[in-house]
Amino acid sequence: MKLNILGCYAATPRTLTNPTSQVLEIKNHLFLIDCGEGTQVQLRKNRIKFSRIDHIFISHLHGDHFFGLPGLISTLRLLGREKELHVYGPKGIKEGITLMLKLGDSWTNFPLLFHELSSKIPEVVFEDDNVSVETIPLDHRIYTNGFLFREKEGERKLNIQSVAKFKIDKAYFRNIKKGKDVTAEDGTIIPNKLLTIDPPAPKSYAFCSDTAYRPEIVPQIKEVDALYHESTFLQSEEHLTTKTKHATAKEAATIAKSADVGALVLGHYSTRYKTIDFFKKEAEEIFPNVHLADDGKVFEF
């Protein structure tokens, strides 16, 4: 599971920092999460193939999280895309994007499918044989969701020595990897656990931005491998969180500790700060395994 940070700063783009956008590589999927201005430039800088992105998840309709989407869609059209593109986001995103494309006579040559969200409770919005994605309702100034990505458990691995010991025919291998027992010629049942090895533990990733401190999300993200949580402010500016509906690094760390996550990645920093090092220092007072997102940074879990 690989996380590519394309942008992780709040509000407006700057010459050296970009608003929110990231790509999660998981089980052969490339999921684009949020699409602030400059996302397609960052995709090119980080050598991520546009053509591999089939699903885009937009947390909310503030500009620093989706103003890059019309441009990206237009570029995909110019690149000759033919396969479907799925966009998951709050109700209204379809109207906004399609109006811009129609006014510019730039409607796509490929199927552009919108999945508009309005539920205030978690819901599964994407699922296949390998991965599921569900919403994480957040607390912001407008309707906002985080997203929880979970790998599904893979096939069991053949224990080659055991298979040879029991003289298992290759015709049974497929069913064995699916977890089925084998019946020997004498009628004896050979338990699957004697013939296989556990697959790698499924990975999970939770994206939570933008949001005020919201402990209600803890049960849903319990023990995820990695949590990206916004940390717009340091504790010295905690008084700003109520009005803006953002969180501090300390509050993000408190969520991570309560949920017993594997790792905490901080991001969505206010650009008022000259360095982001203080965010890590503040969070580590609560939770030990803290990482700082930064534009162009890659995490592997």
Spatial distance between the Cα atoms of 66 and 92, rounded to a whole number of angstroms: 12
Q: Annotated catalytic sites, by residue?
A: 64
Spatial distance between the Cα atoms of 152 and 132, rounded to a whole number of angstroms: 7
- Flag whether 65 is marked binding: yes
Residue found under tokens 């940074």:
297
Spatial distance between the Cα atoms of 49 and 43, rounded to a whole number of angstroms: 7
- Flag whether 60 is marked binding: yes
- Flag whether 64 is marked binding: yes
Give how far Cα 82 sits from Cα of 56, 70, 106, 110, 112, Å. Answer: 16, 17, 15, 5, 10
Instruction: Answer whether 210's CB lies under 8 Å from 241's CB.
Output: no
- Flag whether 62 is marked binding: yes
- Flag whether 268 is marked binding: yes
The pairing of strands 131-137 and 124-127 is: antiparallel
Task: Spell out the CATH class of 2-154+200-300.
Answer: alpha beta
pLDDT of residue 185: 80
pTM of the model: 0.91
Q: Is 66 exposed, middle or buried (0-12, 13-18, 19+ CB in 10 A)?
A: buried
pLDDT of residue 282: 98
Spatial distance between the Cα atoms of 4 and 23, rounded to a whole number of angstroms: 5
pLDDT of residue 229: 98
- What residue ranges do the domains of the chain occupy? 2-154+200-300, 157-197
Q: Is 275 exposed, middle or buried (0-12, 13-18, 19+ CB in 10 A)?
A: exposed
Helix (H, G, I), strand (E, B) or coil at 63: helix
Digit-by-digit pLDDT tens for the chain (301 residues) are 999 999 999 988 999 999 999 999 999 999 999 999 999 999 999 999 999 999 999 999 999 999 999 999 999 999 999 999 999 999 999 999 999 999 999 899 999 999 999 999 999 999 999 999 999 999 999 999 999 999 998 888 899 998 888 888 888 898 988 889 998 888 889 999 999 998 889 999 999 999 999 999 999 999 999 999 999 999 999 999 999 999 999 999 999 999 999 999 999 999 999 999 999 999 999 999 999 999 999 999 9
pLDDT of residue 169: 87
Spatial distance between the Cα atoms of 6 and 225, rounded to a whole number of angstroms: 20
